[in-house]
Amino acid sequence: MSETFGEFEHLLKRALAPVEPPADLSLRLESTLAELTELAQDELESWELSTMRDPRNWARPVAAVAIGTTAGAALVLLRVRQQHRRAAKASGPIDFAERTLHAVADETRRILDR
């Protein structure tokens, strides 16, 4: 019984061992999110207001807004998190919150200016 438990514990430890993500995962994620944001912007720019009178034409713009907003927000959060890892530690929770808000505002402006 003890051998079975020991073997089971060993197998469980191997199965639950932490796995390091690929080194380029962050870069691939960032480029994918940036591409989705740009594609959503292009889709919205190509629509004419005259076609929006018919509700059947609303699906693509609504999907583009949802995808663009989600990808843009995720891109902002990813970049802010990367900046926080590189930056010096904050002196307290209020300083941390201020730095985070400034970083979010800067990244949002950078994405919207494209």
pLDDT the model gives residue 36: 92
111 three-class SS: helix
pLDDT the model gives residue 6: 77
Percent pLDDT > 90 in the chain is 11
Say yes or no to pLDDT of 23 above 70.
Answer: yes
Q: What is the pLDDT of residues 40-75, one digit of tens each?
A: 988 888 887 777 788 888 888 889 999 999 998 998
Query: CB neighbours (10 Å) of residue 64?
Result: 20
